[in-house]
Structure 1
Amino acid sequence: MSELAKQQCEACHKGAPKVTDAERGLLHEQIPDWSIVDTEGEETLRKVFKFKNFAQALVFTNRVGDVAEAQNHHPAVLLEYGKVTVSWWTHAIGGLHRNDFIMAAKTDAVFAVPE
């Protein structure tokens, strides 16, 4: 598990600062398989996870949901046959916060755990 995945999310509120360009670069280096994409004018972290079937994708989705609930930070999840697309961003600030990078790393850790 990465050092970033071991961290905890902090309470975030409207008006909290988004990550700076420098912070974004350093944090993104720790989760290089995630894309930073513009979603309706807001930066988000996005990654597609591949599975053999729907059942495995559903198990993963539920595990990500459990981690999200524990951290009180929730992603957008698209569950399809054989794949799950996970997107992280902080709704309250309309972009990326350190919490999103932490949760992306935690999502990778969930994927790394065998079923």
Structure 2
Amino acid sequence: MSELKNQECEACQADAPQVSGEELKVLIKEIPDWVPEVRNGVMQLERVYKFKNFKQAWAFSNKVAQLAEDEFHHPSLLLEWGKLTVTWWTHAIGGLHRNDFIMAAKTDGLLDS
């Protein structure tokens, strides 16, 4: 399997399969700083990025927003002083798809840019 951050998201329909428990165990190893969370019965991936101040967190949130627009896959973003919480899940299927893991890996890659 190639690195997630180098993979492309695929178009996702409402009948697309959610990531299985076995797939979750494999994929989460590639994005170890992300945590699977269940909210309102929906499995999601979440990571809190910490920064020295609001301006740095804001700048990073803009990078994540541009990535989301480029890929047409949009996370939940919570911008606070010195941190940005990013949450990925696939709304159309009400849970996690492989795309969410790809996007989490790509989000991590933005730290180096």
TM-score bracket, shorter-length normalisation: over 0.9
Q: What 5-or-longer segments of structure 2 have no aligned partner? A: none
Could you say which residue in structure 2 is the equivalent of 1:36?
A: 36
Could you say which residue in structure 1 is the equivalent of 2:3?
A: 3
Normalising by structure 2, what TM-score? Answer: 0.96
- Alpha-carbon deviation of 1:112? 2.7
Amino acid paired to 2:14: K
Cα RMSD of the aligned pairs, angstroms, is 1.0
- Alpha-carbon deviation of 1:40? 1.1
Report Cα offsets for 1:2-32 as digits up to 9, x if no partner. Answer: 8110111000011110011111111101001
Q: What 5-or-longer segments of structure 1 have no aligned partner? A: none
- Alpha-carbon deviation of 1:111? 1.8
Identical amino acids, percent of aligned pairs: 56
CA distance in 2, matches of 1:96, 1:110: 21
Could you say which residue in structure 1 is the equivalent of 2:24?
A: 24
SS in structure 1 at match of 2:43: strand
SS in structure 1 at match of 2:93: coil
Displaced runs of 4+ in structure 1, greater than 2 A?
Answer: none
Amino acid paired to 1:8: E
1:2-81 to structure 2, matched below 5 A, reads 3-81=3-81
Q: How many pairs align?
A: 112
